[in-house]
Homo-oligomer: A and B are copies of this chain.
Amino acid sequence: DQQWVEEVDKKSAHFAIDAAYAHQPSRDDRLIVRSERPFTAEPPAQLLVREQNTANEIFYVRNHMPVPRIDEDEYELEIVDVHGNTLLQLSLEELQTQFEKSCVQTAIQCGGNRRTEMDEVQLVKGGVWGVGAIGNATWCGARLNDVLQYAAEQSGRDVKQVMRDVRHVCFEGLDRDVATDTHYEASVPVEVTEGSADVLLAYEMNGQRLGRDHGFPVRVVVPGVVGARHVKWVGTIRLSKVESESHWQQRDYRVVQTLDEAAYEAAPSIQYMPVVSAICDVQRRGKLVQLRGYAWSGSGSGVARVEVSCDDGKSWQAAELLPTGADAGEDLFAWRIWSAELRVEHARQVMCRAVDASYNAQPAHVRDVWNARGLVNNAWHR
């Protein structure tokens, strides 16, 4: 009867999902696993601020689907114009040899970093994240703009002509949901690709080839922009008149007060991220408390100041910003590790806040930034 058929189909769908999740990469056991399917994990906060660049093995992982198995010899990156015509197909070797290798030190932060603090105001919809859904690395790869220029030339056209009606650049991953046959996809407005930092098609992370959890062989890196647009395992770049119509562009990664369609449609997609900071390590010796944390601004203006307080914000003390190790002007999208020593006379909560060089400051309270998906929490950290 009908029920029997449904049971079999359900079972078979489960098997398909199991099969898709076979052969997932092995992971460092220091990671705090937040979900298994899809795999999401963050490092312990203390580990995060030991070094300027986060070690690849403990860099946070935010997958939306099973990690695809990609043979680097068969990998192809396709560039599609605004009419749906393929302009170019590139192998990994071509990507690595035909374009200048460009490097940028930048943080990448998940839109949901520090989400769990929002639950204390009112429950939000979204996976659990502490302060570790952010990491900083030196990424190297080909510049998107160089590849687009070449794609235009190879198809016998001028890049200005190719880009004329383009308002958004869509990135499709090779990761795939077996139940719905959907690939992950996200887009950035074309202005982002014309911004002060080059968008990279990155094949190296801290001097190593990308790990499978970080997009092997190629991921998009868009300095300053929410992690969700740094599409991993990128297979297709589509020039478009409109934003990506994917679930993740239209019904996620937007700041909404309610979960209805109208709220999503009225809210702009998150792109550049505001100034944020967090305390990641607290060591007490008598009345002296050593604090260490990170601060970051997606604006690319740089972090101007980090301050700490142990009297509920009545007084603030400047933290020391540690050097990024990058050349001046080349680290504006990098995070800053900071350290501070506070004398605490009474048992008090410690807190930190940062200001970027555009004098954007963090809001004081999580309730001031609360939203129904728990995104972009940049309140003072306590």
Contacts and interface: CB of A to CB of B under 8 A. Distances in A.
Interface of A: 191, 194-196, 255, 267-268, 270-275, 298-299, 301, 304, 313, 329, 355, 357-365, 368-369, 376, 378
Nearest to A376: B359
A378 B356 CA distance: 14
Q: Which of A274, A301, A358, A364 has the most chain B CB atoms closer than 10 A to its own CB?
A: A358
A378 B359 contact: yes
B365 A255 contact: no
A362 B358 CA distance: 12
Q: Which of A298, A355, A359, A362 has the most chain B CB atoms closer than 10 A to its own CB?
A: A359
A301 B321 CA distance: 27
A356 to B, nearest CB: 8
A274 B365 contact: no
Given A195-B196, A196-B194, A268-B304, A298 B358 contact: yes
Contacts of A329: 191
A191 B378 CA distance: 27
Contact of A364 (B255, B270, B365): B365
B304 A357 contact: no
Nearest to A358: B272
A299 B368 contact: no
B364 A271 contact: no
A294 B28 CA distance: 50
Contacts of A255: 304, 355, 359
How many subunits of this chain does the assembly comprise? Answer: 2
5 contacts: A255-B355, A274-B360, A274-B361, A299-B360, A364-B365
Contacts of A361: 274, 363, 368-369, 378
Classify the interface of chain A: helix, strand, loop or mixed: loop
Contact of A274 (B267, B313, B358): B358
Nearest to A302: B268
B364 A273 contact: no
Contacts of A196: 191, 194-196
Contacts of A358: 271-274, 298-299
Nearest to A226: B359
A121 to B, nearest CB: 12
Nearest to A329: B191
Contacts of A299: 272, 299, 358, 360
B359 A270 contact: yes
Contacts of A365: 364
Given A191-B329, A272-B358, 7 more contacts: A268-B304, A271-B358, A272-B299, A272-B301, A274-B361, A299-B358, A359-B376
Nearest to A111: B359
Contacts of A195: 196
A361 to B, nearest CB: 5
Nearest to A190: B329
Contacts of A298: 358
B368 A364 contact: yes
The 5 A-B pairs of least Cβ separation, nearest first, read: A272-B358, A274-B360, A360-B360, A359-B376, A274-B359
A194 B195 CA distance: 9
Contacts of A275: 360
Nearest to A300: B191
Contacts of A313: 368
